[in-house]
Structure 1
Amino acid sequence: MTRFRRAAGKARRILRMVGWCLAIGAVVPSGGRAEEGMWTYDNFPSEQVAKKYGFKPDAAWLERVRLASLRLAGGCSGSFVSPNGLVMTNHHCAATCIEELSTAQQNYIESGFLARRPEAELKCPDVELNQLTAIEDVTERVKKATANLSGQQFSDAQKAEFARIEKACADATGLRCDVVNLYQGGLYNLYKYKRYQDVRLVFAPEFRIAFFGGDPDNFNFPRYDLDVTFLRAYDKSQPVKTEHYLPLSPTGPKAGELVFVSGSPGSTSRLFTVAQLEFLRDVVFPESLKRRAELRGVLTQFARQGPEQRRISQETLFGVENSFKAINGQQQALLDREFFGRKVAAEQKLRAAVARDPALERKYGKAWDEIALIEKRYETFYRPYLLVERGAAFNSKLFDIARTLVRAAQERPKPNEKRLREFRDSALPSLTQSLFSEAPIYGDLDEVTLTFSLTKLREYLGTDDPLVRQVLGKESPEEVARRLVQGTKLTNVALRKLLWEGGAAAVAASSDPMIRFAVAVDPAARALRLRYEREIEGPVNQNSELIAQALFAQTGTSVYPDATFSPRLSYGAVEGYEHNGRRVEPFTDMAGAFERATGKDPYALPPSWLAAKDRLNLATPFNFVTTNDIIGGNSGSPVIDSRAQAVGLIFDGNIHSLGGAFGFDAALNRAVAVDSRALIEALRAVYGAGALVDELQPKGRSAFTL
């Protein structure tokens, strides 16, 4: 199951470390099918769709779908599916909420959850939903702010202008406002979102059916998963009322049918330079895979200590396994000589075109070589930056809280445009929601992960490194982690609020060991961040923008921009594929789940399904694949037919789709979805949730008129 939420979040962090801008430029279609592309809503190729499929999405259709679509700020997608604020997304997108609401006595991950009455819906501690309401072009304003600047000055001016634009928008509208970089500097758009932070759990199936097949089946097909969760958005303590929602289709999709996927794909890097791809392949990915493989073993051993240890570590272990498989899939794409050869050839072709025009050569010709030099420079301090500033050495929820409080005390008094980006006014509502969450923190798990990451700090930087000596002193990693985790009081939300509100004075006066630890390591972390922004981020952004402008000057908006975790719409068809000499059909059915079941994890069906077998129509289509272009962040996206009905729910991609970060292969890349017919059948026959089905298919609600 894609656990595309985690894959998206991890991919974004990895790509930032290589010096990515919010988008990596326009992508020229690879000569494959027209389905390629994650299109912005204000530039959707309706004519292309009409030419191929005979249906042209008009402005009214696009608006209805856009306003029904949602972004989960934590890294997923969703959609309104009823007029009463009911939201459909994936189980793995809501798993953190489900886990946080669980206890040792009532484990909703294991047993599932159904609120049969409105008052039984449980509030998720820190879920935020974003609904895109408007898009504004701010290109000229951003480019004016960065004119004739370079390096660190360029980066600082751009970030400051982003902050001013976002703050002015938020102050004037009360909305969440994000400046989005499209075509790597070709366009800058201001996206305005209505923000929902009161989100409640309505339904979640058991983990065993939501992730049936586990890691062996992850990023593969056939699949037999009910990877769904229903949430409800509230506004002023009342369910949101909306005219824009996607009723659940009772008939599902047909083979060959045109379908759309609306979501917020996290990031693609289809126009990375060869030097940037080599840095990923040779430096970033090997390091990431090694560390995750080792952490997976540590967490597996922890889970074997008992049922409670298994419960509290399940979500963390799942995330590590998922990101390992996702990164490994991307690495295999870059190791494929034919695939990488195409990337080299494409770069050479663009450089040759630039070289033929002296004016273009003077303006853009050196950008590729400059990026190559920057990547070499980055390699000299990549590990310290990853460990200390990116936090790979401090894998602890309690440390994250401490660092946030320490940095907030320094950043919040500054002018908005001078702050670190995560402390801008536009970011504070999401940050404080997470910081003051009442979600439980499990000290014994935190101790295990912090011990592991401190051990890696010593291993990677060496015992004699000054920072290692400062962090560990005469103690072992286990002793430092135990002292910090067992000594801190930051599990107390009231204390966090006092430190937040008290600012620098409160932090300076605090004797909490985790706060003192965060204070001690922060100068080294900030120095590495400053070096990264000055020597890597700023120069890479500027040179990447030059490359993108060279291409953008030729293609403009006739092609789609790379993914930026902002709302996009893709189109494709329900279609199988050929793999290893065999035909993979586009649908699976419920009977297949029972045939695949062994009674042992990860192929153990939950008791509710075994008991309901005779009531189920086993011929009901369960999962299906489409040619839609998706990537991490699309988890929870609705699959929509031409009548604006939800016919499915994206939850995965096949193994070939992992290379979609760098390019799209229409013959092999497939999106994987739960069929709407399976959702209806399971809700009625397994869970007795007829009222929920009725809400998903309201009487008198017709599909979109064609």
Structure 2
Amino acid sequence: MKRKHILLSAVLFPAVMAFAQQYGGMWIPTELNEKEMKDLGMKISAKQIFDSSKPSIKDAVVQFNGGCTAEIISPQGLLLTNHHCGYGQIQKHSSVEHDYLSDGFWAKDMNGELPNPGVTVDFISDIKEVTAQVLAGTQNLDAKASEELIKKNMEFVKAGFKLEPWQKLMIRPMYYGNKYYAYLIETYKDIRLVGAPPQSIGKFGSDTDNWVWPRHTGDFSMFRIYADKDNKPAEYSKDNVPYKPKYFLPVSIKDKQENDFTFVFGFPGKTTEYLPAIAVEKIMTETDPTMIAVREVALKTLDEKMRSDNATRIKYASKYASVANYWKKWIGEVEGLKKSDAVGKKKAYEQTLIAKNPQIKSTIDELNRLYTEQSPYSLNKSFYSETVRNAETLSLANNFYNYMQAAESGKTDAKALEGFKSRLSGIYEDYDGELDAKVTAKLLALYANRTQSKFLPAGFDQYKNEAKNLADIEKLSKNSVITGRGSINGATTYTDINKVFADQNALIKNLKSDPLMKLFMNFRETYMKGTDSQFTDYQNQIDVLQKKYMAQQMETDKNRTFFPDANSTLRVTYGKIKGSSPRDAVTYGYQTHIAGIMEKYVPGDYEFDVPKKLIQLYNTKDYGIYKDKSGDVPVNFTATNHTTGGNSGSPTLDAYGNLIGLNFDRQWEGTMSDINFDPRFSRNIMVDTKYILFIIDKYADAKWLINEMKVVK
């Protein structure tokens, strides 16, 4: 095969035929439905959204730290994202003496901005479809041979690009491997914390209001990108200067109206919109309920200690929020799937497809068989994974186990060892062994009582009693290096992790005799033998068939406009500002205001307390230019944009491409939109830019940041 250099260019593919709002939509920005967007009210062109040859809106949108989205809002690299996206960084800079979580943080100038080692932002410089190159020669191969050739083809394609040191090329499959796209990425590594409101604003409503509407949360934080003197990416240095972006977003404080056009630009994480009915049924009735049950136990145990101890609250704040986030999401997802009759709709759609293309029946029948046979293994996989994830003692043991395996197979070089030690240090920094012993004891009891006997290790019945488990774990922890109570060479994992790893042979010998490690290894070995390979074998067969089913859907249903499932790549979704009527006799407006914050205000409450200064601003109605026609400051609003995890921090833009909101959540009744978008219930929730600027200006007295921006009045 002759090697050719592939040049990336912004290709605007033919517009899709119709705006399929009933299915939602997360569109690749080089394949936008420009006509339909303009019919809905957009005033700019698709080229203004994404153009690789000159500055466009995509140059202001970045992936923040590998997960969330953020956007540039000034010519000096000022970055806006969610409070919950920057929460880990705010937490790391916090202490009991300087509690930025409770008090907020605002740099007085650029010299006061705080560095965050390890935090990155990624720009997408270009996108190009490379399906023909990646799938070349795979047409008549079996699944395994095809997979191997695809890997080789992808490496060949990557080799055709000439990259700068700060660039990388990522190739991602779409439509379950029926198409492939290349993404040219530029990574910046000097990202500094500029400002964040106190969590009484940034997390107002906390867990009670999470995924819920009406909402009154100022979920934003601010960072800045720094670059070297040539505006190129560089590691942190005091000599670095604020990044000069190719494009930054103007910030609008114009009033919003229901049915105004909006679009959201960001990095949605994962959706599965094209699954067969049987898969959705298993998620709704088995997988989600299992994961909910495990996290419910963990969260309740953590909450009891966090409410009574301030140091624990700070230490576990980010961790608790992370665990709680999807616990509540899954609860809403199950209810939404039931309420929207997702399984019934999927079954009806399958019959419609079969009527048009009878060959699809064999595909559906085989998927039904595979999912049914996989079901017990899938259920146990969810139970085991969530138990190990949420019982930190087991999670630490799992980390040490992986280290032992790598070390004994000769796969641990100096770099890998430093990475492992760094990862462990991060866990221990926010680890309370006594508290986690309670969590572990309860989760082991849950697992022992609810798991089929064939999936349990021999003798695991002894873990059915929580109180006995706690006593046993406390006993096992006394001399364990895993919990930091046992020592090696006079050091513990808490006091000197470098010394613990200085003699790796001694460490591995110690780990092999560690009673907690023995408990975990027995637990893991039973899972690996009885579940892991069986689940994987079924999943591999399902994946091959799902690719076929996806292709059949696209070939058969000519009336439906298909978009690829989200996979953390850059996407555009669009819709209109809109309220909702999720239940009988229940109607939600599209916007909330500061008055609603005061209606929820509970003095001293960890979820609904309100800072004194915000109360004062409310009482004096000192709103400046940020009030709307009601005379109040709008806080949050909803729209019909199809979003998911990863869209946190995504810019919401108006018809002219001005920033009008910051995406941070979805309405609980519509969280099933990852699997089944329903326009009746699916709403994304955003912080209004009026509220963001109001907090920066009037609350934080940080007008110097406002002065950087281009504010559209």
Normalised by the shorter chain, which TM-score bucket?
0.7 to 0.9
Distance 1:486 1:259, change over 3 A: same
1:453–1:225 Cα change, 3 Å:
same
Conserved in 2, the CA contact under 8 Å of 1:78 and 1:87?
Answer: yes
- What residue is the counterpart of 1:10 in the other structure? none
Residue 549 of structure 1 deviates from its aligned partner by 0.9
Note closer, same or farther for the CA distance 1:45–1:179 as it changes in structure 2 (3 Å cut).
same
Residue 372, structure 1, aligned to residue 364, structure 2: no
The CA deviation at 1:401 is: 4.2
Are 1:386 and 2:382 matched, yes or no? Answer: yes
- Match runs of 1:100-119 below 5 Å: 100-119=92-111
Distance change >3 Å, CA 208–CA 348, structure 1 → 2: same
Which amino acid in 1 is paired with 2:67?
G
Q: Could you say if the C-alpha distance between residues 411 and 308 of structure 1 is closer, same or farther in structure 2, counting changes exceeding 3 Å?
A: same
- Secondary structure in 1 aligned to 2:334? helix
SS of structure 1 residue aligned to 2:184: strand
**Cα displacement string for residues 646-703 of structure 1 (whole angstroms, at most 9, x for unaligned residues):** 11111122123212122223233221111111111111111111111112338xxx89
2:614 equivalent to 1:609 = yes
Alignment of 1:424-463 (within 5 A): 440-444=429-433, 445-461=435-451
Q: Partner residue of 1:24?
A: none
Distance 2:124 2:283 in 1: 32
User: Which residue identity is paired with 1:610?
Assistant: I
Report SS of the residue matched to 1:402.
helix
Deviation per CA, 1:404-452: give whole Å up to 9, x if none: 54465589959xxxxxxxx9x9x99999986776992323355444444
Matched, 1:266 2:269: yes
Question: What amino acid does structure 2 have at the position aligned with 1:198?
Answer: D
SS of 2:285's equivalent?
Answer: helix
TM, length-normalised to structure 1: 0.81
Normalising by structure 2, we get a TM-score of: 0.80
Alignment of 1:330-341 (within 5 A): 330-336=333-339, 338-341=341-344
Structure 2 equivalent of residue 194 of structure 1: 186
1:519/1:537 Cα in 2 relative to 1: closer, same or farther (>3 Å)?
same
Q: Give the letter for the 2:585 counterpart.
A: G
Gaps of 5+ in 2: 1-15, 228-233, 464-468, 487-491, 624-630
Letter in 2 for 1:39: W
In structure 1, what is the Cα distance between the partners aligned to 2:530 and 2:709?
50
User: Is the contact made by 1:385 and 1:528 (CA closer than 8 Å) also made in structure 2?
Assistant: no
Instruction: Report if aligned partners of 1:406, 1:515 keep a CA contact under 8 Å in 2.
Output: no
Q: Which residue in 1 is equivalent to 2:88?
A: 96
- Contact 1:145/1:161 (CA < 8 Å) preserved in 2? no
Matched, 1:485 2:472: no
Deviation at 1:391, TM superposition (A): 6.2
Return closer, same or farther for 1:407/1:174 CA change in 2, 3 Å cut-off.
Answer: farther
After TM superposition, the structure 1 = structure 2 runs for residues 544-555 of structure 1, keeping only pairs within 5 Å, are 544-554=546-556
Alignment-mate amino acid for residue 274 of structure 1: A
Partner residue in 2 for 1:655: 668
| Separation (CA, whole Å) in 1 of partners of 2:531 and 2:184 | 29
- Amino acid in the other structure paired with 2:318: E
The letter for the 2-side match of 1:568 is R
Contact 2:23 2:678 in 1 (8 A): no
> In the alignment, which residue of structure 1 is the partner of 2:565?
562
Are 2:657 and 1:672 equivalent residues in the alignment? no
CA contact 1:122–1:201 (8 Å) conserved in 2: yes
Q: Cα 1:394–1:605, aligned 2, differ >3 Å: closer, same or farther?
A: closer
Name the structure 2 match of 1:693: 706
8 Å contact kept, 1:625–1:671: yes
In the alignment, is residue 227 of structure 1 matched against residue 219 of structure 2? yes
SS at match of 1:77: strand
Structure with a larger share of its residues in helix: 1
Q: Is residue 69 of structure 1 aligned with residue 61 of structure 2?
A: yes
How far has the Cα of 1:68 moved from its partner? Answer: 1.1
1:556-578 deviation per Cα after TM superposition (whole angstroms, max 9, x unaligned):
99531121121111112222233
**Which residue of structure 2 lines up, in the alignment, with residue 596 of structure 1?**
600
Residues 202/527 of structure 1: CA separation in 2 closer, same or farther (3 Å cut): farther
* Corresponding residue for residue 79 of structure 1: 71
Separation (CA, whole Å) in 2 of partners of 1:161 and 1:385: 33
Instruction: State whether structure 2 residue 284 is matched by structure 1 residue 296.
Output: no
Residue aligning to 1:20: none
Distance 1:667 1:199, change over 3 A: same
Which one of 39, 43, 47 corresponds to residue 59 of structure 1?
A: 47
Q: Which residue of 2 aligns with 1:628?
A: 641
What is the alpha-carbon distance in structure 2 between the residues aligned to residue 559 and residue 398 of structure 1?
42
Q: Does 1:539 align with 2:541?
A: yes
Q: 1:283 aligns with which of 286, 295, 305?
A: 286
Amino acid paired to 1:263: G
Q: Deviations over 1:228-265 (max 9, x none)?
A: 01112233232322122213223254433211111111
Q: Give 1:297-336 correspondences, 5 Å limit.
A: 297-336=300-339
Structure scoring higher RCO (CA < 8 A, sep ≥ 6) equals 1
**What is the identity, as a one-letter code, of the residue corresponding to 1:608?**
K
Q: Distance in 2 between matches of 1:33 and 1:293?
A: 34
Contact 1:86 1:230 in 2 (8 A): yes
Q: Secondary structure at the match of 1:268?
A: coil
Report if the CA contact (8 A) 2:638-2:685 is conserved: yes
Match of 2:231 in 1: none
**1:546 Cα deviation after fit:** 0.3
Residues 121 and 188, structure 2, Cα contact 8 Å, conserved in 1:
yes
Q: 1:279 to 1:517 in 2, by over 3 A?
A: same
Q: Look up the SS of the partner of 1:53 in the other structure.
A: coil
- Return 144-153 or 672-681, whichever deviates more: 144-153
RMSD: 4.0
Instruction: After TM superposition, give the deviation of residue 174 of structure 1 in Å.
Output: 4.5
SS of 1:564's equivalent in the other structure is coil
Q: 1:290 to 1:439 in 2, by over 3 A?
A: closer
- One-letter identity of the residue aligned with 1:443: D
Q: Distance in 2 between matches of 1:34 and 1:337?
A: 12
Q: Deviations over 1:597-632 (max 9, x none)?
A: 232523221233224332632612221111212122
Q: Structure 1's 533 and 163: CA in aligned 2 closer, same or farther, altered over 3 A?
A: farther
- The answer to whether the aligner puts 1:585 opposite 2:589 as a matched pair is yes
Q: How far apart, in 2, do the equivalents of 1:544 and 1:304 lie?
A: 46
